[in-house]
Structure 1
Amino acid sequence: MIISHKIAALTATLTTALSLLAAPAMAFSVGPTNNTEILKNNLLGANTAGLSNFSVSIMGDSAAFGTFTKDPFGLTSGVVLSTGKVADIPGQNRYDNDKIGSDLSTDFGPEGEEGDLTQLTLSFFANSTVEKLFFQYVFASEEFPEFGGSKKYNDNFELLLNGTNLAKLRDGKTVTINNLVPDPKKRSKDHPDYINNPSLTGIAANIVKLDGFTKVLGFEGLLKQNQTNVLSIRIKDVGDGKLDSAVFIKGGSVGTVQPEPVPEPMTVGGLMAGGAMLAAGRKLRNRRGGSN
């Protein structure tokens, strides 16, 4: 009985992995919108008891905000912010080296100047019955991996709750390109929360143009009770306005209840290993069935 449960769980994981590798099945789509009511409704779910008086404001180019569905990260749907045009994000990743070319490099401001700030601010009142705010997200960038370790080009990403940045990796480090890829020449030093997505061969290279992204990360922050709280989702080009970065917020996950973990995408190697385990489990079941 235990073996059958494990096989069923493994089958579900393999099915998820296969869906990531099958671009036509994903139908990943992004719909640009700067309508604050639509963005607010996509962020908030059913678990907002104790919170009230929600309002959303945005800063940045109108093309830098949108909603998404059927993403390759496991979020399902939600809100996306970018330093470029969100409509350009879905599609085949053809380039992963800026010297050759770039799939995502929109500069909204004067060329060569630092800029392209995109920010969504959610304000709300928290009563005395709630303690924390939660949600799930993925950070991604066209700057991966070649600008890892760069002091000049390192797009800024923050999740500010009442002014404190709580965008954290699982080991407590802040979510930055340099922390995820410290040295592009020594890939063994890549952070375990980082997933590389090289052109044409990446696990989601036929689905999303971004060259790398994090695993699904969880946000958790203490609220000020009986006060208005402010959450700012902020992403900004640093050094220049080129090579876009983006953040994807899981739809309906912003609330006072910690969301269930999202299954991690599997590499091709992991998929093959999982297939071997599944085959071995079937053999074991067949043998036991034959001996009865």
Structure 2
Amino acid sequence: MAFSITPGTSNLLDTLLGDTTGLSDFSLTTIGSSQAFGQFTDDPFGLGSGIVLSTGKVAEIPGENTLSVYDFDLNHDFAPTALPGYSSGELGDNIQLDLSFFADSSVEKLFFNYVFGSEEFREYGGSPFNDSFELLLNGINLAKLSDGQNVTINNLVPSYDNPSLDHPDYINNPVGSGVNTKLDGYTRTLGFEGLLAQNNRNTLSIRIKDVGDGWLDSAVFIQAGSVGTVPVTAPGVSVPEPSLLLGLLAMGSFGLFGGLKKKQGL
């Protein structure tokens, strides 16, 4: 089989959930064009299968990286006023998935595995075109690189002119690489780990947003069956260093729950 993506919002919840012992009463909602969501199989990142969110059309992500651009402004396809934080006529796509559920007293943490990729690599490393990506558990962003930094374009590629500064979690995908995705770069598999609010309702929000323009799209891939209370093994999973992660998780226990450039052929 070859890497393929089926666009749409159907069956996303069933695909995501793995061992959910201690969790119940699930609900899932999406914000944004249905073309920005989908399910993938046989991906080139090592996840196997799962769901994808993108600021562009997910069906266009598979395919060898060439001089063509993964480049869609979905706001031209439906009203920007339907998206929180957008005013009429503003460029950019703001895509969000919210997973809500109840956690009992027997479980402490939520886990899953993911990969972030973008067409903004490498050309726009260190520029204002720094697409935003967040994984929030009860309002706390736990989308972190292995050293605890936020997962952003600029943290992965601080400078287009100096590849030696690239983050070790970054994998470049130049033209002609033979990798079956049009994205110019992506992370290795990263692990999400967050403290749950016990005996309470919890919300996981996955957000991805164009910054500076509505083009040169980004995407996040969540491994099928990895969202749950037991971590799922995936090749090369990278999680933040324990001291950094504990500091981030401790924040939650104190009540904090709740004119565009075009890509060059480089």
TM class by shorter chain equals 0.7 to 0.9
Aligned pair count reads 226
SS in 2 for 1:246: strand
1:81 aligns with 2:53: yes
Q: In the alignment, is the contact (CA less than 8 A) between 2:65 and 2:178 conserved in 1?
A: no
Q: Does 1:31 align with 2:3?
A: no
* Structure 2 alignment gaps of length 5 or more: 78-88, 238-266
Compare the two structures and name the one with the higher helix fraction.
1
Matches within 5 A, 1:1-292: 27-35=2-10, 38-45=11-18, 47-95=19-67, 102-110=68-76, 113-150=90-127, 152-200=128-176, 202=177, 204=179, 207-263=180-236
- Give the secondary-structure state (helix, strand or coil) at the position aligned to 1:219: strand
Find the residue that maps to 2:155 and give its secondary structure.
helix
Counterpart residue identity of residue 30, structure 1: I
Cα pair 1:113 1:239 within 8 Å, conserved: no
Q: More displaced, 59-68 or 26-35?
A: 26-35
Where 1:231 maps in the other structure, the secondary structure is strand
Render the CA deviation track for 1:31-86: whole Å, top value 9, x for unaligned: 00122xx00000001x1000000000000011000000000100000000000000
Ranges in structure 1 where 5+ consecutive residues have no aligned partner = 1-25, 96-101, 265-292
Residue 283 of structure 1 aligns with which residue? none
Corresponding residue number in structure 2 for 1:271: none
Residue aligned with 1:42, SS: helix
Residue of structure 1 in register with 2:261 after alignment: none
Aligned-pair identity in percent equals 64
What residue identity is the alignment partner of 1:126? A
Runs of 4+ displaced beyond 6 Å: none
Aligned partners of 1:242 and 1:208: how far apart in 2? 17
- AA of the residue aligned to 1:78: G
Equivalent position SS for 1:109: helix
State the distance in 2 between where 1:250 and 1:174 align.
Answer: 20
Q: Distance in 1 between matches of 2:108 and 2:13?
A: 21
RMSD between aligned residues:
1.4
CA distance in 1, matches of 2:178, 2:158: 21
TM-score with structure 2 setting the length? 0.82
Task: Give the TM-score taking structure 1 as reference length.
Answer: 0.75
Given that 1:162 and 1:231 are in contact with CA atoms closer than 8 Å, whether structure 2 keeps it comes out as: yes
